[in-house]
Structures are given as structure tokens and as C-alpha cells.
A = this chain, B = another copy of it.
Amino acid sequence: MSGENGIGVRRRRVDGEAKVRGATRYAADIPVAGLLHARPVLSHEAHARILDFETAAAREVPGVVAVLTAADLPMAPGVPGRLGEPLAREEVVFAGQPVALVVAETEAAAADGAAAVLADYEPLPVALDLEAAMEPGAPLARPGETVDHDEDDGRYSANVVGRRRVGTGDAAAALASSDVVVSGSFRSSPMYQAYIEPQTATAWLEPGGELVVSTSTQGAFATREGVATALGLPHDRVRIRPAPLGGAFGGKVVIVEPLVAAAAVALERPVRLVMTRMEDFVATNPAPGQLTELEVGATRDGRLTALRGRVILDRGAHKEYNVDMLAAMLAGGPYRWEARDLEALGVLTNRTSTGAYRAPTGPPVSFALETLLDELAGRLGLDPIELRLRNVLHEGDTGPDGKPCPVIGAEQCLQRLREHPLWARRDDLPDDEGIGVAIAFWPGGLEPAAASCRLDSDGGVTVITGAVDMSGTETGFRTIAAAAFGVPEERVRVEAADTSGAGFSGLSGGSKIIYTVGRAVEQAALQAREQLLDIAAAELEIAPEDLEIAGGAVQPAGVPAQAIEIDDLARRVLTFGSTYAPVEGHGRIAQASRAPSAAAHLSRVRVDRETGGVTVLAHVVVQDVGRALNPSLVEGQMTGGVAQGLGWALHEGLAHDEEGQLQTGSMVDYTIPSFDLVPAIEADIVEVPAPDGPFGAKGVGEAPVVAVPPAVAAAIAAATGIRLRELPMSPERVWTALTDGAAG
């Protein structure tokens, strides 16, 4: 699938060498003159009224410049959520919530100062258990918060801030007339994004009053909007300089910037906050804990009929992160349904506020649905892949959003997986081993984007976007621009300008960077190419359509003797007195159609019946990626997604005690899959070109994480006959289930 234009060629990431060499400057490494360091003071109560602060001792610590509380911050009035309240005002609503910020000349002084701040609280009732919090009359996690729905049937408490129904057809009737119905209730914990680099931001005021924020963020423009809104500034008075990301996975979207910016404005000095790992665990934005209750109906011959149930999301202490409907939509998977009826509920609790994590809400709902389908296949005596093939979405079918499904390679992934030699061997395994499969759907995101492509005066090509590089997207832009312009990749440099100079780009995330910004890059490069050909045509006195770009030169097609080197042309353009306009293409994109993707998984596990320990022996992921611009990077995404999916499946989960204290606030207590826990992962690329993607490419980052938990669960079931209903499937839970199963 690799072509002369460089599409499909394996290449290293342009940022790889600097990262490996340790030369990359992350947000905490960027030198800033006159810098102050900040350390937050965190609430130790999960829910309490703030009575008083004792800050005198902190102020006396040598080097401490200021102890800021909410009243000291220049926040715009009336901005809802954590954006408007980076330090708690009268009430703390989760343990770990920042209540003060100590700013000092050194990091050590800031830490000493923070340790010396005393806060006096009056404890309030704590809402932690998701179902208990939903009960009418339950203590409210955030008294006074409004709900975002107008249902008033008395079923739920006011902690249920989000309540929507999504569906089509008569699900009750369809279930009633189904030949088989399977059902279950599935749980998962809040999940930490576990990026290597903690949340970090630095802010300062330029003398003209411009506020500059240098930060580890997924979205420069989103952060600008957030900071400007929080501080009540026009957007053009805020400049965001995104630093290279040391991991993000959805978790770095306007978390610490409003606080740091407010401190810099208040103190008129540069202020930096680099969160400690513990602060990052308790005070940022993990993925919501989820409870998914589903009933699935089917006909005897394996046609899915109806899906009914509830998807409940724990939003933690702020209601702003609302992905209830996305969860309900994804709960239907990549399948055709006669009828669907799902209630989506968002519930406030006294936990850390929530945010996005790679394929938000995907793994828990996929765990629920795919586990039920695996049971269903067993009940029907059908090959689980065959069951899925009979129901999988094709282009034009009604998709999860009720609209016709765009081109999707779900069937191709299942077919490919069925041919895998391990699948044939699934019944020929040692007793303690099992193989399971599952498939995921990811809808892909859309957001407008712009990009520029400039020919420099030495013949180099510079691509300029406002997008933050995530997982090698700039390397992808380079491939796209080189192919579209017709020059070798070595000639192309990709620049992420800050918000003052770049064209608009949305958040890096949502499997949409390559699909949207990449498309704008393609447009910009094509436009620049056309401009250059017009200039060469004028110089050579020949029609532009008779020209070609080859070997770094423009020439009449097939006549290298008349070639003009691109650098020579560039010099003729960008010079005093030139009559040629600069060669600068500009792409602006609003993708009208999504490019959903599918990833099918096969997992082979061994279960230790003595300990409940599950070892993944092999894992295969087959993903429809549209077109692999650079297979090395695509495989990296698929492999990384599976590794994180194994974390969901077996290891990870934030746990709180009954007072709301996080019990897993360190990398010792919160187990992400380490090298020894991840098997060799086989990444198999399926290419079903996305019609509107650049060279057929689409986003590939999220699909591979989604269906890992159900594939592992199906493998555990194949090995043991035990169906697990809660993530992670820790040794304790597996052992308990095995013990209960043996007992029952």
C-alpha cells in the first residue's frame, strides 16, 4: 500500500530523536526569567464548609511571596464550574480540591508554605456511592447546583444533574418478542489518564498587558477560550503557547491554566505550577466511573432486535463534563438495532471532577454490550464472530446517532480476525487458558480547522497549524504535505504556532486531528503547489498543467533539462521587486461527515485459579484505519491503545474510602500496565479509505482501547466459565467470582 508519494511509508516521528535524547523541553523545562513557583493547598475534606484559613505561618516562610485564596484571584464573575473557581470559595466538594495557592521564589519554599497553611472546615454529608446518591432524599454533593433537565418524577435526587433518553422503535415490544434476552449490570471505576508528565502551566503578563500561558495542553485555542472566559479577558489578550505534550490522553484540557494565569495576573510576576503526582491524581479530571445496565434481545438465528437500559456516569463534583449521551450512543456498538431505549444519567458526587480519557465512556459500555453479546452467542450456539458479522454496521445502515452510517470497515476487521490462526485454535488450549473476541466502534470527532503551507526562500516548505502534536500528528502532517505538494518529506517542516499567529485548530483528541487538521494541511499544500506551478509556468512560458514537480524541481512533464529547482524559484519570488505573490496555501476545513472506525480484538489469557490472577498471553487488534499514512505510527497507536485497554480490563481504577479520600493516589497504589504485564501485541491494519480523509486517512487513536476489556472478559469466560461484571477484573474479583461460581 506504499506509494511513490510517500503515503504508507514507515517513518520515524520527527519529534522522536529529541525525545529519546532528552532534548525536548516540556512545559516545566521552559526557562522563564523571574519565575515564581506555586504549590496548591488541597482540601482534605470531601465535602465541607470552609470556615477559615490560617495563612500567617505560610507567609513567614522565607521565599514565600503570596498565599492566595479564592478572594485574591481576579476571576470573572458568574463563570460556572471549575473554570470559574480554580480555588474553592465557601465550600469544598471533593478531597483534593485546591483551596489556596502558595507562590514562592523556589519550589521548596512553595512546598513549605503550602504545608504551613491551615484550613478550618465544617464537614458536610458526603455523596459517594453512585446509586445511593441518585436516591431521592440522598445528601447532595453540591447543594445549590441546578440540574440540567426538567424531569420531576421523583425518581432521582438532585444529584442527578443530567437525564436524557435516547432511542428508536419500541424497545419493550421488541424485547418481549425476542427469542433470547440477555442482561446485566456492569461497573467501572473512575480512571486516571496516567500521562507521564503531570499538569503544568506557566503564565505571565507582557508589559502591554497581554497574558501569555505556556502549558502542556491538548488545545491551544480551547485553552485560550478557557482562560479568557475565566478571567473575563478578550480572547486576543491571551496567548497560549502549547509545549510538547508528555502524554495527555484526554486529560489535559484547561485544568491548571486558569489558576496559574489568575495568580500571574494577581501578582504581576511569572508563575509556574508543576503538579506533583499526588496532586495530579486527586485534583485533575479522571474519567467518570460508570454503571451500565443493559438488556439485549435477539432472534433465534442471531439477529439483534432490541437494546434497553441505563448508562449512569459519575461526574464527580462538577457537572460540566457531560458525556452521558455519548455513552448511551456508544452502548449500541457497531450494530444495527430494530429498537433502542437508553436512559443517560449524569450524577454529582464528592469525587474529583471528571474529564476525557481516550475514547470517553467507550471501554465501560463496550465491556457491557460485548460481554452480553458473547453470552448471547453462547446461548444461541453461534460463533461469536459470526453473531457480530450478522449484525455489524455497513455504510448506509442507521448508525448510533440515527443517521446513515458512513463508510466503515467493521465487517472487514471481523473477517480478518476470523482468519487469524489463534481463532482456529480457540478450543485447543490448555484448561486454564481461553480466547475471547470483541469489536468496538468509535464515531470519530469533527471540528473546524485551518492550516497554512508556505514556501520559504531557501525552497523549504513550512506547514503551520495551531494543532498540538499528539501521538505523532505533526509527522502525519508532514507526510500529507509532502505528498500533496510533491516534495520529499525532508523538505517539509511542521510548525505549531501559538494562538496569536496560527490558524484555528480544535483540541487534539477525538480521533480527528489527521481527519480535520490533516485535511486542511492537504488543501493548503495543494494550493501552494498550484501557486508554485503558476510561477514556474510564467518563468518557463508554458501552461501550468504541462508542468510536474520531480526531484525537488519543477519541469515540463518529462523534460528535466528545463527543470527549475524549487529553491531557485523560491528566491525569484521572495525578493525585493518580485512580481510574484508569496507561495502560501491556506486550507480551511469543516468536515461534514464523520469517519467512524472499528477495531476487533482477540485476547488469549491464562487464569490462575489459586490467585485469580489473569495473564494476557497474546492480544491481536485488527483496526480499520482508513489509510495508514505511516504504518509505524498507526501501529504505535493501536499497540498503545491495547496496553491502556489492558489497564482498564485488569489493573486500573481509582478507589475512594467511605469518606471520599482517594486510596490510590500514587503509582504504587494505582497500577498501570508495566512492561511485564503487556504481552506482544499484534497490530493488524485494515484499510478502508475514508472518503473525506487526507489520502483516505482518518483518526486512529481511540478505537483500539475500547473493546479490550470485553475481549479479555470473554477470554476469561472461555477459560473459566465465569462472567465478570466489574472493571478492573482484578485477581480479587476474579478469585471471588471463581469461588462464588464454584460455590454456586
Contact = CB atoms under 8 A, between A and B. Distances in A.
A76 to B, nearest CB: 13
A576 B228 contact: no
Given A23-B207, A462-B500, A582-B590, 4 more contacts: A32-B33, A236-B462, A531-B588, A582-B588
Interface string A104-145: 000000000000000000000000000000000000000000
Interface in A196-226: 206-209, 221, 225
B464 A500 contact: yes
Interface of A: 18, 23-25, 29, 31-35, 206-209, 221, 225, 228, 234-236, 445-450, 452, 454, 456-458, 460, 462, 464, 493, 495, 497-498, 500-504, 506-507, 510, 531, 573-582, 584, 586, 588-592
Contacts of A18: 207-208
A507 B576 contact: yes
A299 to B, nearest CB: 35
A218 to B, nearest CB: 12
Contacts of A502: 501
A578 B447 contact: yes
Given A34-B31, A497-B500, A586-B584, A235 B578 contact: no
A222 to B, nearest CB: 9
Given A452-B586, A586-B584, A25 B236 contact: no
Nearest to A446: B577
Nearest to A524: B586
A592 B578 CA distance: 8
Contacts of A32: 31, 33
B578 A446 contact: yes
Looking at A24, A208, A460, A573, the one whose CB has the most chain B CB atoms below 10 A away is A208
A445 B576 contact: yes
Given A501-B502, A574-B221, A235 B581 contact: no
For the complex of A and B, the 8 pairs showing the least CB-CB separation, nearest first, are A497-B501, A31-B33, A501-B501, A586-B586, A581-B588, A504-B582, A23-B207, A581-B590
Given A448-B573, A498-B501, A236 B464 contact: no
13 contacts: A23-B207, A225-B458, A228-B458, A235-B457, A446-B576, A446-B579, A447-B575, A448-B582, A450-B454, A497-B497, A503-B584, A579-B592, A582-B588
B590 A579 contact: yes
Looking at A206, A207, A573, the one whose CB has the most chain B CB atoms below 10 A away is A207
A588 B531 CA distance: 11
Nearest to A270: B31
Contacts of A207: 18, 23-25, 29
A254 to B, nearest CB: 14
Given A456-B235, A458-B234, A504 B586 contact: no
A419 to B, nearest CB: 37
B31 A225 contact: no
Given A457-B235, A498-B501, A576-B445, A450 B24 contact: no
Contact of A576 (B500, B510, B576): B510
Contacts of A208: 18, 23-25
Contacts of A581: 448, 450, 588-590
B236 A456 contact: yes
Nearest to A237: B493
Nearest to A462: B236
